[in-house]
Structure 1
Amino acid sequence: MNSKLEVYRFDELEFKDWDDFVDRSYNGTMFHTRRFLNYHPPDRFQDHSLYFQKKEKQYAVFPAASVNEKNGDILHSHPGTTIGSLVTNTSLSLKESFDLVTALVKYAQDENFSGIKITIPPNCYSESMSNHVEFALFKMGFTYVKREVSSVLLLPDTAEEIAKGFKPSHRQAVRKAEKEGVQIRQSTNFEIFYRILENNLSKRHGVSPTHSLKELELLQAIFPNKIILHGAFIKDKMIAGVVSFILNKRVQLAFYISHDENFQEKRALNLLFHKIIKEAIQNEKRIFDFGIFTEDGKPNFGLARFKENFGASGVFRDTLELDLTE
């Protein structure tokens, strides 16, 4: 029986097998599933996702697309997701990691790609932390082309324990929000939240949300138990909200965070995260990711400080690239 790694291009007929593999994998997330990838219009990306097999069994998958850049077509970890990378069915040894990266590079060379670009998740997303694959990428000639920093909170077993890590300023803000009558509850009114989000991003950064309202509602319909909107309300008026993505059984990511600036003094976001983090612990999550506080590598110190008030610390979200034209 052939013990070498064989690489195949993904076929839509294998949709269910792919998602079943990701769901039971060692390091896969919602972003790696076909259910997530396929919400994009079919003409937005040129999908070039890969299957890896060993001894005729699924061994790894790589969500990817062919992206045209100045030197030709790049095999890019899927640009329609926040993170990509290789998903494996188990923790890999160092030798297995090198074998997997070698197979990926050989495939890209055989298909005449001019390079490979991969955005990897923080290694705390995996069942156990390992940098074997990242090390293999580096030793095989990949270079770091982008480094963002995400604020990650390691969750203890109980909500009582997590409170010990909160800064006094955060605890004070939570008490203020409660005294002001702020109420936290889950909501399905993405339209109201989206207006708050859109207004904030336009005013502060001159940009639009990553997803349109229609796309966000579509994703929530696909993942009704994994994409959750928590709103902060004064009576029936939403004044802030957080859209969380449940990435896998370990990790919850705050994908969108926004508040109505007219109610900033109510400290609604502090109370929102206070409740959301407690709920994540009750749901046995081990990691709460507040998202990045960098933009193209430049730090937003105010945003970092806000997240640090909850006891979060920074971890890298790296993008690596290999030039195959040299």
Structure 2
Amino acid sequence: MKNYTVIRYRSTEATGWNDFLKTAKNATFLFNRNFMDYHADRFPDFSLMVYNEERLVALLPANIDNGTILSHQGLTYGGLVYGNLKLQEVILVFREILLFLQQQGILKLVYKSIPSVYCLKPAQEVEYALFLAKAQIVRRDALSVLAHNGENEVSDLRKRGIKKGIKSGLVVKEENHFEDFWNQILIPNLESRHQAKPVHSLQEIELLASRFPENIRQFNVYHQNKIVGGTTVFETENVAHAQYIAANETRAELGSLDFLFNELTHNIFREKKFFDFGISNEMQGRKLNSGLSYWKESFGATTITQDFYEVATANYTLLDDVFI
């Protein structure tokens, strides 16, 4: 039986943490400490590192909130990060994590899974361990994802929008600044339509883009040299993900978003395995914005899910006698 040790992450371990990500089968740049730590003041870190003797074998990006440990709330997705561990090894690692948290006086872990398209190889070993530990699904998000493994049928409605964009002379440009999109499009759009603000401030997205220029990219669409819409894309090895999507009040008249996303999916990111339009649900996954979901699906996107679990740390004992 292998001897696993769990420790809390410390800032002195940043290099080791980031180096391990390069060997993992389910890691992206979001787990890099240079990304995670930009909002350390909002999310008190409680990330974990798991060793087999002297060898680092797994990471758990996490924070603490009112005595509960959560897959890091500042990240779109989270979960256990690991390399080529066998299923039995992942179960044992997860047991040690629950035991460690129990010994720290933590009663509950809220676990946010990594959507399958972001994994370099199939990586659902932890989902099986969660089942064995009697974890409860408390939320399920529905992501609209376009797979570039064949012809995706674009709806007639989207085709009409694309033709409007062509007729209007729209132009898509990648920009190295975010100010115009944030201040002229995104912030006003979210305020007027949802009474909300972007998760990232302008200063935060500029900081992150300066740290990850190859992963965080801004695409704007222009009409007569005036910005009318855009999207901020988080790019990983397998996936181009539209983190923010917004357009001004001319979107229907000009077909700006149809034109923009046709260019992104058919040209700019055509070689990516997947294009992730993101979720269309609210209220912990229990309400669906059907119009938004339909718009994404009309580009040929289909649905994958991302699950959120709660598991009592005392349930580590349920993983003691599962092997035969």
CA apart distance, 1:280:
5.0
Q: 2:288 aligns with which of 299, 308, 319?
A: 299
1:239-258 maps to which residues of 2 (within 5 A)? 239-246=228-235, 248-258=236-246
Tell me the equivalent position of 1:137. Answer: 130
Q: Bigger CA drift: 14-23 or 59-68?
A: 14-23
Tell me the equivalent position of 2:109. Answer: 116
SS at match of 2:38: coil
Is 1:211 aligned with 2:209? no
Counterpart Cα distance in 1 of 2:14 and 2:266? 35
> Cα deviations across residues 113-156 of structure 1 (Å, max 9, x unaligned)?
12101111212211233432112112202111111111111123
Tell me the equivalent position of 1:25. Answer: 24
Q: Bigger CA drift: 253-262 or 124-133?
A: 124-133
Conservation of the 8 A alpha-carbon contact between 1:152 and 1:289: yes
Counterpart Cα distance in 2 of 1:27 and 1:58? 15
SS at match of 2:240: strand
SS at match of 1:174: helix
Letter in 2 for 1:176: K
Tell me the equivalent position of 1:99. Answer: 92
> Cα deviations across residues 265-288 of structure 1 (Å, max 9, x unaligned)?
111111111111234545x42121
Counterpart Cα distance in 2 of 1:127 and 1:278? 23
Tell me the equivalent position of 1:89. Answer: 83
CA apart distance, 1:170:
1.9
CA apart distance, 1:172:
2.6
The number of aligned residues is 312
Counterpart Cα distance in 1 of 2:22 and 2:148? 22
SS at match of 1:254: strand
Tell me the equivalent position of 1:285. Answer: 272
CA apart distance, 1:168:
2.7
Counterpart Cα distance in 2 of 1:24 and 1:250? 15
Tell me the equivalent position of 2:321. Answer: none
CA apart distance, 1:105:
0.6
SS at match of 2:166: helix
CA apart distance, 1:202:
1.2
Tell me the equivalent position of 1:179. Answer: 167
Counterpart Cα distance in 2 of 1:116 and 1:169? 44
Conservation of the 8 A alpha-carbon contact between 1:155 and 1:281: no
Could you tell me the percent identity over the aligned residues? 32
Conservation of the 8 A alpha-carbon contact between 2:251 and 2:257: no
Counterpart Cα distance in 2 of 1:63 and 1:130? 16
Query: Structure 1 residues 325 and 58, CA, compared in 2 at 3 Å: closer, same or farther?
Result: closer
TM-score, normalised relative to structure 2: 0.91
Letter in 2 for 1:107: F
Tell me the equivalent position of 1:268. Answer: 256
CA apart distance, 1:23:
3.0
Is 1:38 aligned with 2:37? yes
Letter in 2 for 1:285: K
CA apart distance, 1:227:
0.5
For the aligned residues, what is the CA RMSD? 1.8
Conservation of the 8 A alpha-carbon contact between 2:174 and 2:218: yes
Conservation of the 8 A alpha-carbon contact between 2:218 and 2:230: yes
Conservation of the 8 A alpha-carbon contact between 2:143 and 2:304: yes
Conservation of the 8 A alpha-carbon contact between 1:252 and 1:280: no
Letter in 1 for 2:202: L
Is 1:64 aligned with 2:58? no
Tell me the equivalent position of 2:322. Answer: none
Q: Which blocks of at least 5 consecutive residues in structure 2 are unaligned? A: 316-324
Query: Structure 1 residues 165 and 97, CA, compared in 2 at 3 Å: closer, same or farther?
Result: farther
Tell me the equivalent position of 2:143. Answer: 150
Counterpart Cα distance in 2 of 1:233 and 1:59? 47
Runs of 4+ aligned structure 1 residues displaced above 6 Å come to none
Counterpart Cα distance in 2 of 1:280 and 1:138? 40
Q: 2:214 aligns with which of 225, 234, 239?
A: 225
Tell me the equivalent position of 1:169. Answer: 157
SS at match of 1:189: coil
Counterpart Cα distance in 2 of 1:13 and 1:189? 32
Counterpart Cα distance in 1 of 2:302 and 2:204? 31
Counterpart Cα distance in 2 of 1:66 and 1:322? 15
CA apart distance, 1:100:
2.0
Letter in 2 for 1:26: K
Query: Structure 1 residues 116 and 208, CA, compared in 2 at 3 Å: closer, same or farther?
Result: same
Counterpart Cα distance in 2 of 1:187 and 1:258? 15
Conservation of the 8 A alpha-carbon contact between 1:150 and 1:292: yes
Letter in 2 for 1:75: I
Tell me the equivalent position of 1:311. Answer: 300
